[in-house]
Amino acid sequence: IPTAGRAGLPDSPSNHRLQFERDVLAGLAAPQKTLPCKYFYDEIGSKLFESICELEDYYLTRVEADIFSCALDEMTMVLGQGVALVEPGAGNCEKAEPLLVAMNDPVAYYPLDISPEILLAAQQRIQRRLPTLDVVPVIGDFTSTTVWQQLPKSHQRKVLFFPGSTIGNFTPEQARELLQRFAEQLRPGEGILLGADLVKDSVVLERAYHDSAHVTEAFNKNLLTRINNELNGNFNIDDFAHRAFYHRVRQRVEMHLVSLTDQKVEVSGQQFEFAEGETIHTENSHKYTLSGLRTLLHETGFTTQKFWTDNKQHYAIYYAEV
Ligand code: AVI
């Protein structure tokens, strides 16, 4: 997901492949091998992520949904009437749907995502349920500047909807840049509804990213399968292990793929050497404290209006305005 700050190539399938190749080759050539987590989400990866969201161990989705359903009345009151909801990285739009249904006469919904198929299916579903709502899919990468230019210029009052703790997949610096960019899209009085996972016991965190059903392992390893299929790679998937751990100082869960042997791998005609135990860092999932979130919002031009959390304080949803 994190690409904020990079100019990138214009959106087109062949440029997506080029960018993928470029990112993978650069990532595997780095001293700490790394692969950008946004590449998890091909068709299989997106399905695996949906399965992760249903796991008992992956509490984030469940707790966030519980907070939404408990606080829905209060939230819709704070959001106000006649809002245009804009959702960066909307995917199947399943989180926005109950919110839109509960909201007070929303005028429009703009889901932003790189996958047109998923967006169009969601558009039809939501349009059937809310026939008077203007549902306008916007295709593109929300971390690029170009996608925001496709949003219709209007006098509608915008609220950005950024749930799912996606903000956690950005480093704190990238998160600041992204929220600043979000703030630039808003006029005074417009806001953001932001969901974020909170710092907690490391056992709970590590179980969420190393689930007993091994779905997260399949999700992590699918990145190698994707490279094999799309970039002519020859990773032997069984020669890598899934590792996820909480880094207390960095306040994040890191996911890695650990090479189980000394080995050589080829991708797009280039060879990469792995020592036994060497890792590819595939994802960061940053966890926030309530005060850390408030500071992040404040530093990027937002003023917190209200926040909601669960009774264990595992997760928080903030509403903040510029
Ligand atoms: C999308 N994102 C917020 C998820 C997370 O928790 O960081 C992705 C994920 N990675 C492993 N499990 C889920």
pLDDT at 302: 98
> From atom 12 of ligand 1, which residue's Cα is the shortest distance away?
209
Contact 95, 67 (CB under 8 A): no
Could you tell me which residues come within 8 angstroms of residue 280 by beta carbon, excluding any fewer than 6 positions away? 27, 28, 33, 34, 35, 240, 256, 257, 259
User: Does the pLDDT at position 141 exceed 90?
Assistant: no
Of these ranges, 41-55, 133-147, 277-291, the one predicted with the greatest mean pLDDT is 277-291
Q: Per-residue pLDDT for 21 more than 50?
A: yes
In the predicted model, is pLDDT for residue 10 greater than 70?
no
Tokens at residue 260, please? Answer: 């189980």
Query: CA neighbours within 13 Å on the CB side: how many for 167?
Result: 33
Of the candidates 62, 24, 95, 58, the one whose C-alpha atom is nearest the C-alpha of residue 212 is 58
Q: Whose CA is nearest to atom 1 of ligand 1?
A: 166
How large is the average pLDDT for residues 260-282? 98
Closest by CA to 161, choosing from 95, 105, 207, 107, is: 95
Residue 235 has pLDDT above 60, yes or no: yes
pLDDT at 258 over 60: yes
- Tell me what the mean pLDDT of segment 158-172 comes to: 97
Q: Whole-prediction pTM value? A: 0.93
CA nearest 169: which of 306, 277, 21, 40? 40
Q: What integer pLDDT is reported at residue 6 of this predicted model? A: 40
Strands 83-88 and 108-113: parallel
Q: Which pLDDT does position 298 carry in this prediction?
A: 98
Mean pLDDT of 45-71: 96
In ligand 1, the atom with minimum distance to the C-alpha of 244 is 11
Mean of pLDDT values over 222-234: 98
For strands 315-321 and 191-197, give the pairing: antiparallel
Pocket test for ligand 1, best of 169, 170, 222, 251 (most atoms within 8 A of CB): 169
pLDDT at residue number 118: 87
- Residue 1's pLDDT is 60
Average pLDDT (197-224) is 98
Q: Where residue 11 falls among pLDDT bands split at 50, 70, 90? A: low
Residues whose CB is less than 8 angstroms from the CB of residue 171 and which lie 6 or more positions away in sequence, other chains included: 2, 284, 286
Residue type at 158? Answer: K
Question: 303-309 and 315-321 as β-strands: parallel, antiparallel, unpaired?
Answer: antiparallel
Pocket lining: 285 vs ligand 1, CB cutoff 6 Å: yes
Least confident of 12-26, 186-200, 210-224: 12-26
Distance 52 CA to ligand 1 centre (A): 8
Beta strand segments in 29-103, E: 83-88
Q: What is the mean pLDDT of the chain?
A: 94
Ligand 1 centroid, distance to 316 Cα (angstroms): 16
pLDDT value for 29: 98
CB 95 within 8 A of CB 163: yes
Beta strands, E only, 49-208: 83-88, 108-113, 134-135, 138-139, 157-162, 191-197
The whole-number pLDDT of residue 303 equals 97
pLDDT bin (cut points 50, 70, 90) of residue 2 is: low
Which pLDDT score is estimated for 7?
A: 42
83-94 pLDDT tens trace: 999 999 998 999
What atom in ligand 1 is closest to the CA of residue 53? Answer: 13
Confidence of residue 9 (pLDDT cuts 50, 70, 90): low
Residue 5 has pLDDT above 70, yes or no: no
Separation of CA 165 and ligand 1 centre (Å): 8
pLDDT above 60: residue 8: no
Contact 52, 210 (CB under 8 A): no
Mean pLDDT of 290-310: 98
